[in-house]
Amino acid sequence: MIASLESGTNKNEESRFSDWSVQAHSNVGVARGLNTITTEQYDTVKLRFTDVSLKRDGNWRAIDAQETIVR
């Protein structure tokens, strides 16, 4: 599922983000939440995600990301 979304072979019909949590610690930000994706090829899939960003020279830059399928 994730590989087909990344490759663009599967049309992404809808993506909804919910259950957000965002924390900032000095120059590091951590965002967590739930991404609910509905596609033509698959039924609804839920992904838990964590994104880590670093503030450098006044700009936020993504440094790490992780997604896990919720079963």
**Ordered domains of the chain (ranges, CATH):** 2-69 (3.10.450.100)
**DSSP code per residue over 21-71:** EEEEETTEEEEEEEEEEEESSS--EEEEEEEEEEEETTEEEEEEEEEEE--
Residue 11 pLDDT: 62
Residue 62 pLDDT: 97
How do the pLDDT tens digits run along the chain, 71 residues long? 556 656 666 665 788 999 999 999 999 999 999 999 888 777 888 999 999 999 999 999 999 999 999 98
Strand partners, 61: 54
